[in-house]
Every structure is written in C-alpha cells, then in structure tokens.
C-alpha cells in the first residue's frame, strides 16, 4: 500500500513542518479572577488584646495593668516562652520595672498586630527634637525588641531611627544601635559619620566630633571609635581615588581647628619671663602679611 501511495516518490517520504522557538512568555489576562484580600489576622489578634477575652497573664508596669495571653506571647518571643515555662502555673502577674507603660503598650501592639503602634509620639515626633535620642519612643522600643528577642520589631525601629540621623545625632544613634545589636542601623551610622568626617567642609566634620554623642563614644565606647576610624579610612581611600586625603578626624587630631588652619604651641621671651600662647597659621602660612597671628 505504501508503495502505491501518492506521498512516496522515488522511495522517499518528504515531511514539511515549521518549528518555532518561544523566547519569552506573556501572561494572557484571564477572563475571570477572584481577588483575595490581605491577611487580617493581625486585626483579629488585636481585638483579642483589646477586649482581654481569655487573657491568662497580667503585667504590672508601674501600676498600669496589661492583660495578655501566654500562648500568643510565647509564640512570638522566645524570651516570654522561657519566662512562662519557669513560672508556677498559678503565678499570673508579672511586675515590669525596666519599661514605661507606653513602651510596653507599643510592645504588645506589635506582638499581637505585627505592626508599629499608630501613636502621635511615635510617628509624629522625631528623635532629633528630643533632649536625648534615648528619650524617643522608637529608641525605647528598640531596647524592648532587644530584650524580648523580636528581630522584626528591631528592624522596624531601626528604620524609624535611620530617618533621624544627622550630624548632631549620629553619634548617639550609633551608640544606641551598638548597645542593642541593631546592625543595619549601626552600619548606616558608621558610614554617615565617616563620610562627614572626610568632607572638605571642616565645620561639618567638627560638628560631629564635638557633639555630646561623640564625647560619649570617646569615654564609653572605645571599640566603636576604632570601628569608626576604620570606616573613615575606607571613605578617605574611596573619595581620594588613591591620592592623599585628610579627614577632619586626622586634621583635628594633629592640632588643626575647624576652619582648616594649623595650630601650634609657641614659647617666647617677654621681659625675662617665658610665656606660652597659640600661633595660628593660615593655609598660606600666615596672615597674608608675611607673619603669623598670635592668639593669647
């Protein structure tokens, strides 16, 4: 039968076909779709916290009572889990002495709702307007996140504090980040401080070094100063492109002042007595008239 077929010619069967290669894929819109709303489990747990239904543990924070649920707290925090396992079953009140009520309230809000509390003091007041960075609610909540081992809350607080980094606050925030293992925030602070210590405008770098926070670093955090020095060295190399570059840190350490002048001690004779003063030389080596100026 094949031999008599019209498709077979000279004992050959030819098949013609077209081959296509798919190099990209395009999603075609479906005619029908069903939208799934975002998870609202946080709001349900939040209601559970607010109405105190089924609560089995009470926290006494400087006289203010907070009712919560051991199971929820233990599921969120390994510190709470360990604390509850070591307590007697009938011991259902815990006294908290190292945290303000508003901070503990914000802590519970995060544990139940997985979000930062919508509080004017938290979202409307920056740490830069506080007498001290540590007075900011975000800073106190960062300490709470560290205490109860809540890494997501720690990152949220780091994000808030990161927005408040400035020449005046960077040293304080750096010390805070180091103390509470906020590594992302610490890295940002080190880079910010180092970049401002390398800039050509010496007044900016001097403002960093002469801030209260920097004085605190010098007195209490020598290891942080060492880390900052290494970061400064890296920035100097990056900015100079392999050439010579002088940071404000190095300039002031060698006796410079904040307006790019070199300062040296000078002793001179005055009526048989020796007196000491400060010779201040401008970049050109004097006051423009060929002689240095003297500051008593």
Average pLDDT in the 86-111 region?
93
Domains of the chain: 42-115 (3.30.710.10)
Asked whether the predicted pLDDT for residue 239 surpasses 70, the reply is no
> How high is the pLDDT of residue 12?
79
- pLDDT digit string, tens, across residues 165-180: 988 888 899 999 999 9
> How high is the pLDDT of residue 280?
32
CA 89/CA 272 separation, integer angstroms: 86
Encoded tokens for 213: 């926070």
> How high is the pLDDT of residue 114?
96
pTM, 2 dp: 0.68
């Amino acid at each position: 039968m094949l031999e008599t077929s019209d498709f077979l010619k000279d004992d050959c069967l030819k098949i013609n076909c077209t081959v296509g290669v798919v190099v990209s894929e395009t999603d075609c819109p479906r005619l029908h779709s069903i939208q799934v709303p975002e998870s609202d489990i946080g709001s349900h747990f939040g209601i559970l916290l607010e109405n105190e239904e089924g609560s089995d543990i009470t926290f006494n924070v400087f006289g203010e009572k907070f009712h919560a649920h051991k199971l929820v707290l233990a599921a969120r925090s390994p510190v709470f889990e360990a604390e509850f396992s070591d307590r007697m079953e009938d011991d259902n009140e815990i006294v908290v002495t190292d945290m303000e009520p508003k901070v503990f309230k914000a802590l519970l809000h995060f544990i139940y709702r997985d979000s930062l509390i919508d509080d004017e003091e938290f979202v409307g007041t920056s740490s830069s307007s506080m007498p001290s960075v540590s007075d900011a609610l975000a800073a106190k909540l960062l300490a709470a996140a560290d205490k109860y081992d809540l890494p997501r809350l720690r990152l949220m607080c780091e994000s808030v504090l990161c927005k408040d980094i400035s020449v005046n606050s960077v040293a304080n925030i750096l010390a805070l980040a180091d103390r509470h293992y906020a590594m992302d925030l610490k890295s940002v602070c080190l880079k910010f401080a180092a970049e401002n210590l390398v800039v050509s405008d010496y007044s900016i770098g001097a403002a960093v070094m002469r801030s209260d926070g920097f004085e605190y670093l010098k007195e209490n955090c020598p290891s942080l100063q060492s880390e900052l020095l290494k970061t400064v060295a890296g920035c100097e190399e990056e900015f100079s492109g392999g050439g010579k570059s002088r940071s404000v840190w190095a300039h002031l350490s060698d006796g410079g002042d904040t307006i790019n002048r070199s300062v040296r001690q000078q002793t001179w004779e005055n009526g048989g007595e020796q007196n000491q003063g400060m010779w201040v030389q401008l970049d050109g080596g004097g006051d423009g008239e060929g002689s240095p100026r003297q500051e008593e």
